[in-house]
Amino acid sequence: MSKKRTSTKKSKLREYIEIIVTAVLLALIVRALVIQSYHIPSESMEDTLLKGDFLFANKFIYGAKVPFVEWRLPAVRQPKPGDIVIFKFPGDNKTDYIKRCIAVEGQTVEIRGRRLLIDGVEQEEDYIKFVYGDIPRRNYGPLVVPKGHIFVMGDNRDNSYDSRFWGALNKKFVRGMALFIYFSIDYDRHWMRFTRIGDIIR
């Protein structure tokens, strides 16, 4: 009788371990290939994204990078202008950055003061922010985005370290597209921003 009880306990323990291991493996696969959490540490994407926002990103859409190797899964589609993308900063290939895709390969980027021109056409950008008023701003370009690259900029144009400073972004560094905010905290007030939770990122 005691042997049967011991055997039953062992089988149940083994069953629990298998469930836990399976759940952990599935969670790791989902995190590596499908969806991942990111934190906004700076003001470079204000007012679209605020410092203290926590968001989920779709890693599958652009073709997720397979961990430990240089392979990528097939992409659903490529980044396009308007997408808010998460990528590894090309300067160190470690730090997560988040910016808006402004132009893709073959397009010509030109900046004149506050005005952004793509292929010679001025863009209407209702999401951008300037924090330093009407001070003179340096012009940029024209630059033709190289093949396999995108041009990214922060929505807070006066406070963003982006493609204007370190060049077009090689798509091999892209990790995903921002989806929605699942948590947000105001570090100055030490309080949650309840109204931002669940916001779709555009």
Catalytic residue list: 44, 99
Contact 32, 90 (CB under 8 A): no
The Cβ of residue 190 has, within 10 Å, a number of other Cβ atoms equal to 7
**Rounded Cα gap, residues 170 and 191, in angstroms:** 38
Which residues have CB under 8 Å from 172's CB, separation 6+? 148
**Rounded Cα gap, residues 163 and 101, in angstroms:** 10
ω into 126 cis (within 30 of 0): no
**Rounded Cα gap, residues 3 and 185, in angstroms:** 55
Numbers of helices and strands, H then E, in the chain: 2, 12
Structure tokens at 137: 């701003």
Q: For residue 44, give the nearest of 135, 123, 141, 152 by alpha carbon.
A: 152
Structure tokens at 1: 């009788």
